[in-house]
Amino acid sequence: MLLNGVNHVAILTGDTERFVEFYREVFEAEVDGGQTMGEEGKLTFVRIGDQAEINLFEVQGNTEAERQTPMFGRGRIDHLGLQAATLEAFEEIRRRLLARGAADEFVTDFGPVLSVFFRDPDGLEGEVCVANPDAVPGVTNPPGTPAARYVRQP
């Protein structure tokens, strides 16, 4: 393959500081720098991995960050998919998302991948994925399949 991951995703926000604080506290993201766009706004580079970042734009008068519609109706970027480094990292991220009220308890078992969905402070849906240690080779599951290791037993 010629690619090995995501380099960056460009996202519009109405509040750079709030956005950066969320990604810093949940994912340990770091601000790599930024630049002003004259009176129009600013661009902030938010590092989310060794080779991945969010190019965060806060544009004066732009209200796109406020507009959220149902899945598959949100424009070209429907959601942001992030790859957790390890199962332990996935569980820590999930814990942080739950503590902030940014995710519910549900973890999807897609077969080879576990997934938890969240909403960031601007309402953008995100997903954190990790290799599933309980995967059965060749078996895939549809969306909505609960991951057994995260289902509470009565």
The CATH number linked to 57 is 3.10.180.10
The answer to whether the beta carbons of residues 118 and 124 sit under 8 Å apart is no
Answer yes or no: do 143 and 91 share one domain. yes
Predicted local confidence at residue 105, as pLDDT: 96
Q: Structural domain of residue 42, as residue ranges?
A: 1-63
Contacts of 110 (CB under 8 A, 6+ apart): 132, 140, 141, 143, 145
pLDDT per residue, tens digit, the chain (154 aa), is: 666 778 789 888 999 999 999 999 999 999 999 999 888 899 999 999 988 999 998 998 888 877 777 777 777 777 888 999 999 999 999 999 999 999 999 999 999 999 999 999 988 889 999 999 999 999 999 999 999 999 987 7
Predicted local confidence at residue 38, as pLDDT: 84
Predicted local confidence at residue 3, as pLDDT: 63
Provide the CB-side half-sphere exposure for 90 (13 A, CA). Answer: 24
Predicted local confidence at residue 62, as pLDDT: 84
Q: Record the tokens describing residue 134, joined without a space.
A: 């309980």
Answer yes or no: do 8 and 49 share one domain. yes
DSSP 150: G
Placement of tokens 């289902």 in the chain: 151
Closest by CA position to 102, among listed 82, 83, 116: 116
Answer yes or no: do 57 and 101 share one domain. no
Assess if residue 68 is contained within a domain: no
CA dist., res. 123 & res. 103, Å (int): 12
Looking at the 3D structure of the chain, how many domains does it have? 2
Predicted local confidence at residue 98, as pLDDT: 97
